[in-house]
Each structure stands twice: as C-alpha cells, then as structure tokens.
C-alpha cells in the first residue's frame, strides 16, 4: 500500500485540505479526527485538494460527500481540485446515488379511470392464468384417464376420506338444521290458511332440488376447498412442488387430479345425506308443530314429490365439486412465497367457489325450467 498523508494549509483566504497517496476506509479515521478539530467558522472557502491522491474508495467518497455537504450548510464555498478521472467518477457516482436516495418521489394521485383500468387489467390477467390452468388440467386429465394404470387409487381413496367422509358430520348437522328452520318458518304461514299438509310439498321440492345441493356445496367449499388451497399453498412455499418436479413427478397427477376426482365422486353422496337429514328436520317440525304424523308425512312425500327432483339435485353434485376443487387448487398453486399470501388466497378460494356454485345453480335452474324438467 502506498503511503498516505493529509495536510492542512492556509493560502490567502482559502483553507486547503491536501490528500496524497491513498484515501481509504483504513486510514480515514485518522484523517477524520484532524478535520473535526478544524474551526471552520472563520473560513469562507475550503479547497479539497486531490491533485496528489492516487486512490479513493467508496467509503472515503461517502466521507468527502458528507464533509462537502456539511461545509455548504455552514455557508462555506467548497472547491475540489482533481485531475484523476477515476476519482472524479467515484465522487460523482456517490453524489448521484445520495441525491437519488434523499429525493422524495412524487406519487401522482390516480383518477378513477386509471383505477378501474388497472383493476380490469388484473382481472383479465387472472382470467388468462385460470384458463391456462384449466387447459393444462384437461390435457393431464385426458392422459390420466387413458389407462387404468395411470389412476392413483390410493390417493383418490385418501382424498375421499379427507374431503368427504370426514365432512359427513358437519353436512348432516347443517342440513338437519336448515330443514328444521325452513319447516318451522313455513309452518307458521301454513297454519294461518289451514294448509298444513302442503309443508311436505314445499319441503320435498325445495330441499331435494335446490337447498341440499347448495348447502352441501357451500359447506364443502368452506371446509375442503379452503383445505386444498392451504395444503397446496404450503407445499409451494416449502418448495415441495419444485422438489416433485425435480424428481420427475407431475404435481397435476399426484395432487390435482386425485382431489378433483375424489370430490366429484363424493359430492352426490353428501347431497344424498343432506337430503335425508333435511327431510328428517322438516318431518320433526311437521310432527311437533303441525301434528302431521311421520306416516302421513312419508305417504304425502311419496305422492307429491317426483323422483326427478331428487335426481336433479344429485346431478348438480359433480359440477359443484369440480368448481370447488379447481378453484381451491388453482388458488393454492398461485400462492406467493409468504404466509400472508396463503391466508389471502384461501379466503379468495372460498368466496369464489361459493360464487361459482351459486352461478352454476342459477344456470341449472333456468335451463331445467325452460326444458320443463
């Protein structure tokens, strides 16, 4: 390392700070103590002389910048003497970066048109991403079902147990209470007109055709759909999905398709259980509040409620299951590398699944009504 020196010289009305050799982090402390001992209150012009300086590092450049800024704040004029282009470049770079960092950025307030445009653009990009996911899902699904050897029965059985069998209790209780409440609220109005027996007609058609499929789908969306998002999102954060791809395993075949198939198989079964429990709930109210015996209730039910209403409700199950599973899994796959993203996408998956189920149910209702079914 070349020898370094620092001299303080007064010439006329100027104070010269002369640096020679090298000015680096290693010798900066000793020079800084000398500069701090100078009384700048009597000075008008300070010249920082780098004519004999051979090397200047970034730490020293920051020190010189701060010194110059301090002197200017005192009202002292600062001049820098230097002919070395490398030293001038690093001084200019440090000054530029410091001014860039201290400058407060001006944020233009966006108008309502810009906000709407940005929102719609994000929605459009999200729609394209979801359609890409659906395309990849269907291509993998077709390959998955081309041979019985490709079907992973163990994973499907596991998901049936996790997403459906363990959900039977909550679906049954919820449906029983819904049937109870609907029957109780209807019984009050029917008693006014002496039309007690018509509670069977109302409960049978509304529960089998609309309420049971919808309530079951909402419960499964909140329970199993959110679980799909959280599980796959956690696997993405812990890089398990990347590890599977590295080992040659396709996440679609091992994680996505078994969950969708399992939910599509079990949703009609859950709707059937929901039908039974909701009708039992309505039967209890009819017996207690309207004095309709169980035998009379069942006879009337068999006479006025056509089997088509039951099959329509059951037929909605696979469609609802597909929507819930695909939305839940898609939200899990787009989770970012932070835990906050899991919570956000889990919430979005439940909301979007319920919304999609309601839209699908409305389409079915309009189509079946127009077809006379």
Mean pLDDT for the stretch of residues 9-24: 82
User: 339 vs 1, 243, 244, 258, CA distance in Å?
Assistant: 51, 19, 21, 25
pLDDT category, 360, cuts 50, 70, 90?
very high
> Would you say the pTM of this structure is higher than 0.85?
no
Give the number of other Cβ atoms within 10 Å of residue 286's Cβ.
Answer: 26
- DSSP codes joined into one string, 20-79: EEEE-TTTHHHHHHHHHTS-GGG-SEEEEEEEEEEEE-HHHHHHHHHHHHHHHHTT-EEE
Mean pLDDT for the stretch of residues 305-330: 91
* CA nearest neighbour of 272 among 200, 172, 362, 198: 172
Q: Could you give the residue ranges of the DSSP H alpha helices within 194-224?
A: 199-206, 212-220
Mean pLDDT for the stretch of residues 164-168: 88
Note the pLDDT of residue 137.
Answer: 75
Note the pLDDT of residue 196.
Answer: 77
Query: Average per-residue pLDDT in the chain?
Result: 84
Instruction: Looking at mean pLDDT, say which of 38-47, 271-280, 299-308 comes out highest.
Output: 271-280
Q: Is the pLDDT of residue 104 over 60?
A: no
* CA nearest neighbour of 219 among 266, 181, 155: 266
pLDDT category, 354, cuts 50, 70, 90?
very high
- Of residues 327 and 130, the one with the higher pLDDT is 327
- Cα–Cα distance for residue pair 165/147, rounded to 1 Å: 27
Note the pLDDT of residue 30.
Answer: 79
Note the pLDDT of residue 319.
Answer: 93
Q: Is the pLDDT of residue 72 over 80?
A: yes
Q: Bridge-partner residues for 18, per DSSP?
A: 7, 49
Note the pLDDT of residue 1.
Answer: 46
Domain with CATH 3.30.750.24 in the chain: 5-102
Query: pLDDT tens across 113-127, in order?
Result: 888 888 888 888 888
53-76 in b/e form (b: 16+ CB < 10 A) is bebbeeebbbbbbebbeebeeeeb
Q: Is the pLDDT of residue 193 over 80?
A: no
Q: Is the pLDDT of residue 23 over 90?
A: no
- Cα–Cα distance for residue pair 237/232, rounded to 1 Å: 9
* Fold of domain 5-102: Transcription Regulator spoIIAA (3.30.750)
Mean pLDDT for the stretch of residues 236-254: 81
Q: Is the pLDDT of residue 234 over 60?
A: yes
Place of tokens 């791809």: 245
For residue 105, give both structure tokens: 């950025």
Mean pLDDT for the stretch of residues 245-266: 84
Note the pLDDT of residue 123.
Answer: 83
- DSSP codes joined into one string, 245-313: HHTT--HIIIIIHHHHHHHHHHHHHHHHHHHHHHHHHHHHHHHHHS---HHHHHHHHHHHS-HHHHHHH
- Cα–Cα distance for residue pair 218/203, rounded to 1 Å: 19
- Of residues 291 and 221, the one with the higher pLDDT is 221
Note the pLDDT of residue 101.
Answer: 62
Note the pLDDT of residue 246.
Answer: 84
Q: Is the pLDDT of residue 369 over 90?
A: no
Note the pLDDT of residue 237.
Answer: 85
Q: Is the pLDDT of residue 216 over 90?
A: yes
SS3 333: helix
Note the pLDDT of residue 25.
Answer: 80
Give every strand in the sheet of 77-81, ordered side by side: 5-11, 14-23, 45-56, 77-81
User: 22 vs 5, 6, 91, 313, CA distance in Å?
Assistant: 8, 10, 15, 85
Query: pLDDT tens across 326-341, in order?
Result: 999 888 888 887 778 8
């Amino acid at each position: 390392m070349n020898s370094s020196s620092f001299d303080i010289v007064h010439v006329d009305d100027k104070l010269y700070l002369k640096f020679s050799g090298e000015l680096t982090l290693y010798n900066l402390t000793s020079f800084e103590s000398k500069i701090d001992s100078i009384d700048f209150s009597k000075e008008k012009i300070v010249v920082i002389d780098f004519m004999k300086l051979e090397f200047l590092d970034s730490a020293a450049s920051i020190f010189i910048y701060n010194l110059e800024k301090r002197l200017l704040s005192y009202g002292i004029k600062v001049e820098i003497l230097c002919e070395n282009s490398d030293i001038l470049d690093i001084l200019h770079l440090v000054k530029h970066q410091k001014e860039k960092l201290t400058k407060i950025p001006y944020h233009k307030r966006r108008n309502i048109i810009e906000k709407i445009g940005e929102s719609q653009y994000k929605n459009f990009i999200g729609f394209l991403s979801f359609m890409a996911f659906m395309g990849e899902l269907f291509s993998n699904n077709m390959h998955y079902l081309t041979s019985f050897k490709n079907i992973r029965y163990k994973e499907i059985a596991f998901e049936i147990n996790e997403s459906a069998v363990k959900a039977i209790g909550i679906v049954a209780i919820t449906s029983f209470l819904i049937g109870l409440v609907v029957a109780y609220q209807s019984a009050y109005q029917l008693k006014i007109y002496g039309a007690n027996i018509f509670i069977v007609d109302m409960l049978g058609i509304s529960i089998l055709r609309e309420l049971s499929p919808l309530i079951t789908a909402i419960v499964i969306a909140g329970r199993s759909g959110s679980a799909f998002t959280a599980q796959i999102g956690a696997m993405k954060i812990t890089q398990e999905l990347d590890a599977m791809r590295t080992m040659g395993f396709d996440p679609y075949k091992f994680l996505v398709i078994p969950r969708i198939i399992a939910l599509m198989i079990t949703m009609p079964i859950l709707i059937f259980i929901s039908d039974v429990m909701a009708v039992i709930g309505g039967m209890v109210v009819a017996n207690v509040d309207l004095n309709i015996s169980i035998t009379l209730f069942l006879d009337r039910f068999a006479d006025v409620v056509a089997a088509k209403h039951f099959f329509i409700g059951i037929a909605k199950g696979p469609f609802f299951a597909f929507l819930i599973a695909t939305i839940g899994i898609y939200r899990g796959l787009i989770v970012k590398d932070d835990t906050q993203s899991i919570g956000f996408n889990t919430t979005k998956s439940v909301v979007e699944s319920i919304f999609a189920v309601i839209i699908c149910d409305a389409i079915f209702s309009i189509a079946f009504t127009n077809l006379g079914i």
